[in-house]
Amino acid sequence: MEIFHFHHCVVIKTIPGQTSEQYRYTMGHFAAPVLSQLIKSGSVICVAAGRHLNAVTEEMKPTQPTYNNIFIQAIGDITTQIQENDAIELTRRLAKRWGGQYYRLQAPAITPDHRSYQIFVEHEQIKFVLNQMDRANLAFVGIGNPVNSVFYTNEFSEKNKLNNLKSRGMVGEICGHFLDQDGNECETTYTNRIIGISLEQLKKIPEVVAVTGGRDRAQVVAAAARAGIINSLVIDDQGADEMLHLN
């Protein structure tokens, strides 16, 4: 917290021999109560995608009555086969638990080209949801490393292109934006095709919580923190230890 100036930081102790499923369940069990308390009445919350984030939101529930909350899907759909760790499902889950409004982003996460991107973002419903993200005071996001993100796993982005990005300094991904070691967005063929929250919008949100794990994500988490993209963190002890070794 001192080094990266985090508002909140939850470090989950890993147990040798745990499966990835058991480890994420442990993360959800211990981190969920902390994150649940961040949702106050009148909150506008952006919710992204990710397997670790899925495990935590699965355990989240209100600790006290709250009212007039708005939950916004922070990034479009990654594939047509919606999975439980996609933003659409995580946002719906939290909105239902808190009895809040749910704004769905009815668009793909990445469009085939910039022309189709422009058509999507000019659509009245999509433009409305994107503009509502400017009102957010809380966000929950996942973080992927160069070869293990929701985009890579779902083969949404072409493998050879991601490997090329890695060779050019890309250290990871947040909400579809590929970052270098300083937290700057890498200029890629995807840069002007991502439908969802922008890095500029994330930087303006008072509380942005990243939920992730593993030593292989330490570099991108540190980069995002230094750049002011995230300011709170849930991570395992392995990832936290690696982050300390980066300084």
Which tens digits make up the pLDDT trace of 185-205?
Answer: 988 777 889 999 999 999 999
**Mean of pLDDT values over 13-35:** 92
For range 117-132, the mean pLDDT? 97
CATH topology of domain 20-245: Rossmann fold (3.40.50)
pTM over 0.85: yes
Residue 154 scores a pLDDT above 60:
no
Does residue 21 have a pLDDT over 50? yes
Q: Are 82 and 44 in contact (CB under 8 A)?
A: no
Residue whose entry in the numeric block shows the structure tokens 């593993």: 214
For residue 79, what pLDDT is reported? 76
